């Protein structure tokens, strides 16, 4: 099949990394794959381009001009499938794909789509989703929220769990691991609420003097987080590693993967942690809580509850048997539900299936 993935950009992010991994797998399975990145190439796009995957960047323009550019591109390319990722790419490309003769048009929503809805955005999405064959949600919570959104196409909504490439264990001696080590991998954005985790570390370190929290990633709130760690007196326990491509060593060193988001879909980094058998400690929200409950491979804490998060950290750190049990469950659940191969197979089935 000739498959085109449409994204807003290919900057570093969970959805973008997922699309890149899907492109690589689909190409390896014999499909002809390319990507349309509306606004810019980005670091993920540069990697894909270097690997020989065609990237088309139409550039920012008015809605009418953008639709025309996509129509002309699709008409020249004649794809079998146009797979849009998230709201803006669906609004920009779904109609153009249908008019250009694509056999299947899909949209994947990579967030929770949580109420209260952005009504104007969801109405625009609903209009353009008329031209989609399927609308995929990345977890049950997303699918349920989509069904309640304005202009929902309930008969088109299907769940396709995210998948991730398995992490291989690698040496991590150079990282300077001390005691029980928590790892977060992702964007440093307000929605991730990493302040709660830093406050939790400041509580838990009283019981666990060698506790370390490694933050792998970068973003707008990094300075604020560094200042908070210093203010709470835990700067020596909270290490900021910046954006890294060599994340395998951090997952290999981790005793627990942690995330304290106030809203979260199904983060790739959680699945990568599970692939290597790392337990999770996450807030009770969205797809990540759904996955932890499904797998039985971690602990949940209420959103914004630093004391509850600290209690979970101390519980896991103090119980090697529980960690081993969670580790086994994480790996088993990943193999059964969250491999990249399983996700790709689900999408290829939708590419071939009519409603």
Long-range pairs of 38-41 with CB within 8 A, sequence gap ≥ 24: 38/6, 38/7, 38/8, 38/9, 38/66, 38/88, 38/89, 38/92, 39/8, 39/9, 40/9, 40/10, 40/11, 41/9, 41/10
pLDDT at 353: 85
Taking every pair of C-alpha atoms in the chain, what is the biggest distance, in angstroms? Answer: 64
d(CA 69, CA 59): 9
pLDDT digits (tens, 9 = 90+) for 187-241: 899 999 999 999 999 999 999 999 999 999 999 999 999 999 999 999 999 999 9
Could you tell me the two tokens for 344?
Answer: 């790709």
Q: Are 104 and 80 in contact, with CB atoms under 8 Å apart?
A: yes
Percent of the chain scoring above 90 in pLDDT: 94
pLDDT at 15: 87
Structural domain boundaries in the chain: 2-163+339-352, 173-337
- Tokens 């209690």 belong to 311
Q: Is the pLDDT of residue 168 over 80?
A: yes
Over residues 34-44, mean pLDDT:
94
Query: Which of 44-61 are b and which e, b meaning 16 or more Cβ less than 10 Å from the residue's Cβ?
Result: bbebbeeeebebbbbeee
- Tokens 């932890």 belong to 292
How are beta strands 181-185 and 212-216 bridged, if at all? parallel
Q: Which helix (H) or strand (E) holds 85?
A: strand 81-85
Q: Is the pLDDT of residue 13 over 90?
A: no
DSSP label at residue 337: H
Packed helices 320-337 and 268-275: angle between N→C axes, nearest 10 degrees: 110
pLDDT digits (tens, 9 = 90+) for 89-103: 999 999 999 999 999
Q: Is the pLDDT of residue 355 over 70?
A: no
Could you tell me the two tokens for 6?
Answer: 């449409």
Listing DSSP states for 225-252 in one string gives HHHHHHHTT-TTTEEEEES-S-THHHHH
Instruction: Identify the bridge partners of residue 37 per DSSP, sorted by sequence position.
Output: 7
In the CATH hierarchy, which fold is given to the domain comprising 173-337? Answer: Rossmann fold (3.40.50)
**How high is the mean pLDDT of the chain?**
96
Over residues 43-62, mean pLDDT:
95
d(CA 184, CA 40): 27
Q: Are 191 and 261 in contact, with CB atoms under 8 Å apart?
A: yes
Please tell me if the domain spanning 2-163+339-352 has the same topology as the one spanning 173-337. yes
Q: How far is CA 93 from the centre of its chain?
A: 22
Over residues 131-137, mean pLDDT:
98
Tell me the residue length of the chain. 355
Task: Name the residue among 140, 134, 84, 94 with its Cα closest to residue 113.
Answer: 140
Other CB atoms closer than 10 Å to residue 246's CB: what's the count? 9
| H-type alpha helices, the chain | 14-28, 42-50, 63-77, 87-99, 119-129, 140-147, 194-204, 222-231, 248-253, 268-275, 286-295, 306-317, 320-337, 340-352
CATH architecture of 2-163+339-352: 3-Layer(aba) Sandwich (3.40)
Nearest-10 Cα torsion for 275, 339, 214, 241: 130
pLDDT digits (tens, 9 = 90+) for 249-290: 999 999 999 999 999 989 999 999 999 999 999 999 999 999
Q: Are 296 and 289 in contact, with CB atoms under 8 Å apart?
A: no
Packed helices 268-275 and 286-295: angle between N→C axes, nearest 10 degrees: 20
Total-model pTM:
0.88
């Amino acid at each position: 099949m000739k498959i085109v993935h449409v994204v807003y950009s290919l900057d570093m992010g969970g959805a973008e990394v997922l699309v890149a991994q899907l492109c690589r797998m689909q190409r390896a399975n014999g499909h002809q794959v390319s990507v349309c990145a509306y606004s810019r190439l980005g670091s993920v796009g540069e990697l894909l381009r270097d690997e020989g995957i065609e990237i088309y960047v139409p550039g920012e323009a008015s809605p009418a001009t953008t639709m025309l550019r996509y129509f002309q591109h699709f008409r020249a390319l004649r794809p079998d499938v146009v797979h849009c990722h998230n709201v803006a790419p669906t609004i920009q490309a779904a109609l153009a794909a249908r008019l250009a003769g694509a056999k299947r048009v899909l949209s994947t929503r990579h967030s929770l789509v949580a109420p209260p809805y952005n009504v104007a955005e969801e109405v625009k999405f609903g209009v353009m989703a008329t031209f989609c064959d399927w609308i995929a949600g990345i977890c049950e919570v997303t699918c349920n929220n989509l069904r309640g959104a304005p202009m929902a196409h309930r008969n088109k909504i299907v769940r396709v769990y995210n998948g991730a490439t398995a992490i291989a264990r690698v040496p991590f001696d150079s990282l300077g691991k001390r005691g029980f080590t928590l790892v977060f991998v992702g964007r440093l954005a307000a929605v991730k609420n990493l302040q709660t985790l830093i406050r939790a570390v400041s509580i838990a370190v009283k019981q666990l003097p060698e506790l370390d929290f490694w933050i792998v990633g970068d973003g707008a709130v990094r300075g604020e987080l560094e200042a908070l760690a210093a203010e709470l007196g835990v700067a020596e326990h909270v290490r900021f590693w910046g954006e890294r491509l060599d994340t395998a060593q951090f997952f290999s060193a981790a005793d627990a993967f942690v995330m304290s988001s106030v809203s979260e879909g199904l983060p790739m980094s959680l699945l990568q942690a599970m692939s290597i058998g790392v337990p999770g400690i996450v807030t009770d929200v969205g797809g990540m809580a759904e996955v932890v409950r499904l797998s039985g491979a971690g602990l949940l804490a209420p959103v914004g509850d630093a004391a509850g998060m600290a209690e979970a950290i101390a519980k896991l750190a103090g119980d090697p048997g529980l960690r081993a049990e969670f580790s086994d469950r994480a790996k088993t659940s990943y193999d059964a539900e969250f491999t990249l191969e399983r996700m790709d197979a689900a999408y290829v089935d939708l590419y071939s299936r009519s409603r």
